[in-house]
Amino acid sequence: MLGPGDDAAIIGAPDGRVVVSTDLLLEGRHFRRDWSTGYDVGRKAAAQNLADVAAMGATPTSLVVGLGLPADLPLSWLDALTDGLADECATIGASVAGGDVTRCDLVVIGVTALGDLGGRAPVLRSGARPGHVVAVAGRLGYAAAGWALLEAGVPADSGALREAVAGHRAPCPPYAMGPVAAGLGASAMLDVSDGLLQDLGHVAEASGVRVELDPGAFPVGDPVAAAAKELGADPLEWVLSGGEDHALAAMFPPDVRLPAEWHVVGRVVEGEGVVVYGREIGRRGWDHFG
Amino acid sequence: MLGPGDDAAIIGAPDGRVVVSTDLLLEGRHFRRDWSTGYDVGRKAAAQNLADVAAMGATPTSLVVGLGLPADLPLSWLDALTDGLADECATIGASVAGGDVTRCDLVVIGVTALGDLGGRAPVLRSGARPGHVVAVAGRLGYAAAGWALLEAGVPADSGALREAVAGHRAPCPPYAMGPVAAGLGASAMLDVSDGLLQDLGHVAEASGVRVELDPGAFPVGDPVAAAAKELGADPLEWVLSGGEDHALAAMFPPDVRLPAEWHVVGRVVEGEGVVVYGREIGRRGWDHFG
């Protein structure tokens, strides 16, 4: 409603409530300028906050951004960053509403995303109940596979490998599935930022339930499978433990009919923790959830 | 409505619009840990964003905060910071609704403040018209006087000098006067963050008018006068050019009766720029506005 240039931005909040998520992204810790372009960093910075908003069941509406920039940063990098922020917002009809710039020795990006619930109740982490199904929408394992390819220095010389590397550089969250899940009565939801097993552990704890996953039910994308073959790795480990794809994971009552974007991968039972059937417990990244 | 612990916070926006302001504060640039306590930094970080929201005519409701923290930062400093953020919010009935923490080599504080317009039109920088009066509410020159005392290494051995130093460490913005001014029909408003002359220059430019100030009309606080006497400085220079006090400056139609918190200090005329009558142009900080 009012963008950059005044003391503050004004953003529509027709629901009468506003959903807000904020994150800091730091050069060296969350991105490397030699691995990712400014454009990719902008898309990633926007995506991780827009996905948090979607995971509440809200439609993202706006971003405000605080930037710390080194004096010797090429202007072209900043232009690409702001393009990336704007383009990622545009994928869900949101926009960059304002911001602040200051000098800093490293690139610091503070992103705050806002969204509107459209009259729906927010979907928290605490609502999962025994008998509910566990479903995922969006990519899993892409960012981890792409990171492994970059770290190993393997050239991305096929379409599938390039897609995995692109998935590391910028995620592709299924934003629209957040409000859809809320409308279908999802009982709990979050976006997968640290890895599915770890993140579902938060749901299990907040809801006081146990989450059981069927490893055979997960869709494994071609880029993940291709990268695993290239590196002799287990693709399911990336799918279950890889972070930064910002897929959505939601629990639904068992009688809900889910659209094709959602894949049922497990169920909620009484108990605690997260288990994966038919897989040995104790592998890297799985230990805490057996 | 929903605070820390889920993917995002949920904040009431009864007006159906939300006012949003964001800033990054960086150690070494915006504060020094040897000059300011964690508590002071928290108050200052909250204040500068809450003041931006108030300057739109809105009542601040919430903060969300992204923190970058060094591994060796004492926990007591972090505790003091969060206390300062919360206490500053409490002065206007707002609260800290959520946040994010990450590791960083220096302390980085990303603050986003939200506020509610309560059905009022937002007060922009662009609405000043010839014939309107210019008024200020809140402190001017305190932060600059306190900084000058600290820089000169002068011991703050009187109540007035201590108050000036405290004014540098954390401002005391007149938040409630923002919505009051909007309700009284203010035509333009901003908070004084970079110095009154410079900030009014933004109003003059955005509104296409000239701002004339009467140097004799400004209230000079005892702390500012005491610091100026101690250092042989001109107190009015701090009042007119000192930043970081986050006073509010607003333009009103000439027939408005203003409450005692507002001091009329000038008028809006046709033309451009900012002038101060009876003072030589060309002094430090004034040059661009003559």
Does the CB of A265 have a partner CB in chain B at under 8 Å? Answer: no
The CA distance from B230 to B152, in Å, is 10
| CB of B195 closer than 8 Å to CB of B287 | no
Phi, psi of A63 (to 5 degrees): -120, 145
Cβ–Cβ gap A18/B11 under 8 Å: yes
- Rounded mean pLDDT of A209-232? 96
- Rounded mean pLDDT of B249-277? 96
Reduced to 3 states (helix: H, G, I; strand: E, B; else coil), residue A113 is strand
Residues making up the binding site of B? 7, 21-23, 30, 52, 99-100, 125, 191, 193-194, 244, 286
Residue A290 has pLDDT above 70, yes or no: no
Q: Which helix (H) or strand (E) holds B97?
A: strand B95-103
- Rounded mean pLDDT of B85-113? 94
pLDDT of A289: 37
Quote the tokens at residue A74.
């090429």
Proportion of chain A above pLDDT 70, given as a percent? 94
Residue B199 has pLDDT above 70, yes or no: yes
Q: Give how far A232 is from chain B: nearest CA, Å.
A: 33
Cβ–Cβ gap A24/B62 under 8 Å: no
pLDDT-derived band of residue B183, with 50, 70 and 90 as boundaries?
very high
Does the CB of A281 have a partner CB in chain B at under 8 Å? Answer: no
- What is the identity of the amino acid at A202? H
Reduced to 3 states (helix: H, G, I; strand: E, B; else coil), residue B142 is helix
DSSP A202-270: HHHHHHT-EEEE-GGGS---HHHHHHHHHHT--HHHHHHH--SS--EEEEE-TTPPPPTT-EEEEEEES
Strands A210-213 and B133-137, bridge-based pairing: unpaired
Q: Is A191 annotated as a binding residue?
A: yes
Q: Which of B48, B105, B112 to mutate to test the interface with A (most CBs of A within 10 A)?
A: B112
pLDDT 10s digits, A143-184: 999 999 999 999 988 999 999 999 998 899 999 999 999 999
Per mean pLDDT, which range of A173-182, A217-226, A276-285 is the poorest? A276-285
Within 8 A of A10 by CB-CB distance, chain B residues are 17-20, 56, 117, 122
Does the CB of B20 have a partner CB in chain A at under 8 Å? Answer: yes
- What is the identity of the amino acid at B282? G
- Cα–Cα distances in angstroms (integers) from residue A73 to residues A70, A106, A220, B23, in the given order: 5, 9, 39, 20
Cβ–Cβ gap B125/A8 under 8 Å: no
Reduced to 3 states (helix: H, G, I; strand: E, B; else coil), residue A110 is strand
Residue B288 has pLDDT above 70, yes or no: no
pLDDT-derived band of residue B6, with 50, 70 and 90 as boundaries?
confident
The CA distance from B95 to B113, in Å, is 10
| CB of B283 closer than 8 Å to CB of B239 | no
Q: How many CB pairs under 8 A join A and B?
A: 196
pLDDT 10s digits, B39-52: 999 999 999 999 99
Cβ–Cβ gap A114/B17 under 8 Å: no
- Cα–Cα distances in angstroms (integers) from residue A50 to residues A9, A58, A86, B1, B92, in the given order: 18, 9, 12, 20, 29
Within 8 A of B12 by CB-CB distance, chain A residues are 16-18
Least CB–CB distance from B64: residue in A7, A58, A112: A112
CATH homologous superfamily for B19-116? PurM-like, N-terminal domain (3.30.1330.10)
Q: Which of B72, B138, B280, B22 is nearest to A112 (CA)?
A: B22
Burial B27-59 (b: 16+ CB within 10 A, else e): beebbeeeebbbbbbbbbbbbbbbbbbbbbbbb
Q: Please, what is the angle between helix B222-231 and helix B159-169, to 10°?
A: 100
pLDDT-derived band of residue A3, with 50, 70 and 90 as boundaries?
low
pLDDT 10s digits, B128-172: 999 999 999 999 999 999 999 999 999 988 999 999 999 998 899
Q: What is the largest CA-CA distance in chain A?
A: 58
The residue whose two tokens read 């100026």 is B228
The CA distance from B25 to B40, in Å, is 13
Within 8 A of A65 by CB-CB distance, chain B residues are 22
Quote the tokens at residue B273.
């720029």
The CA distance from B97 to B95, in Å, is 6
Cβ–Cβ gap A9/B21 under 8 Å: yes
The CA distance from B284 to A173, in Å, is 51
Residues 150-189 on B with a CB inside 8 Å of A are 189
Residues 71-130 on B with a CB inside 8 Å of A are 97-100, 102-106, 108, 110, 112-115, 117, 122, 124-125
Reduced to 3 states (helix: H, G, I; strand: E, B; else coil), residue B103 is strand
Residue B283 has pLDDT above 60, yes or no: no
Q: What is the dihedral of CA A201, A205, A209, A215, to 10 degrees?
A: 0
The residue whose two tokens read 């159906």 is B16
Cβ–Cβ gap B17/A21 under 8 Å: no
Dihedral sign for Cα atoms in the order B155, B158, B162, B164: negative
CATH (one of 1.10.3720.10, 3.30.930.10, 3.90.650.10, 3.20.20.70) for B133-289:
3.90.650.10
Q: Report the first-to-last Cα separation within chain A, whole angstroms.
A: 49
Cβ–Cβ gap B108/A108 under 8 Å: yes
The CA distance from A211 to A132, in Å, is 10
pLDDT 10s digits, A10-52: 999 999 999 999 999 999 998 888 888 999 999 999 999 999 9
Q: Which of A78, A67, A93 is nearest to A39 (CA)?
A: A78
Cβ–Cβ gap B102/A67 under 8 Å: no
| CB of B267 closer than 8 Å to CB of B133 | yes
Least CB–CB distance from A122: residue in B10, B67, B117: B10
Q: Which of B1, B24, B27 to mutate to test the interface with A (most CBs of A within 10 A)?
A: B24
For chain B, the structural domain boundaries read 19-116, 133-289
Phi, psi of B88 (to 5 degrees): -65, -40
pLDDT-derived band of residue A288, with 50, 70 and 90 as boundaries?
very low
Q: Mean pLDDT across chain B, nearest whole number?
A: 92
Would B19-116 and B133-289 be classified into the same CATH topology? no
Q: Report the first-to-last Cα separation within chain B, whole angstroms.
A: 49
Q: Mean pLDDT across chain A, nearest whole number?
A: 92
Cβ–Cβ gap A64/B22 under 8 Å: yes
pLDDT-derived band of residue A285, with 50, 70 and 90 as boundaries?
very low
Q: Which residue of B has its CA nearest to A60?
A: B8
- What is the identity of the amino acid at B175? Y
Quote the tokens at residue A171.
């995620």
- Rounded mean pLDDT of B227-245? 95
pLDDT 10s digits, B15-41: 999 999 999 999 999 888 888 899 999
